[in-house]
Every structure is written in structure tokens, then in C-alpha cells.
Amino acid sequence: MCEVQKDIKFEDAMKRLEEIVKSLEDGNLSLEEAIKLYEEGIRLTKVCNDILRSVEKRVVLIEKLNGEYIQDDITNDIYGGLGQKE
């Protein structure tokens, strides 16, 4: 089982995900190799999603501090009211 670095850069994680997808699509792997790559891909996807969520929250806070944030139902659902104007 391949460990995914927690401090990996988003761009590096995406590049590795692209490599994994290509390898899986090529179909030249044993079942065991394919499963290992799939597991690594799932972990990388979680890392990427976590990074994106963190960046999105930072953007919302920056916009809120600059008075540019507009709340809507989608952002309210995503951020649980994080961007609500007081």
C-alpha cells in the first residue's frame, strides 16, 4: 500500500492522479497493481478535496473581509453560513 504524503502540493497530487488514471485506462496492470493504484488515487482525491475546501474557505473569508462576499444558498450549504453577513 502506497502512503500519500499529507503535505503534498495540490499540483503534484493532480499530476500523480493523472498518471494513475492513465495507467488504469491502459489496462496493462495485474488486478493487484490496479487495486493498489486505485487505493492511492482515492487517497489523493481526498487530499485534493481537502486542499480545495481549505482554499475555498480562505477565499470566502478574504471576500468577506473586503465586503465583496455575496451569500447564496449554495455557499451557505457548503460553508454552513461561514460567509453570512452580520
Angle at Cα 28 formed by Cα 25 and Cα 31, nearest 5°? Answer: 90
Question: What is the per-residue pLDDT for 28?
Answer: 94
Question: What is the per-residue pLDDT for 33?
Answer: 97
Question: H helices of the chain, where?
Answer: 10-26, 31-65, 73-79
Question: What is the per-residue pLDDT for 37?
Answer: 97
| pLDDT tens for the 86 residues of the chain, in order | 455 666 899 999 999 999 999 999 999 999 999 999 999 999 999 999 999 999 988 888 888 788 776 666 555 555 555 544 44
CB 46 within 8 A of CB 3: no
DSSP state of 68: -
Which single residue is written with the C-alpha cell 482515492? 42
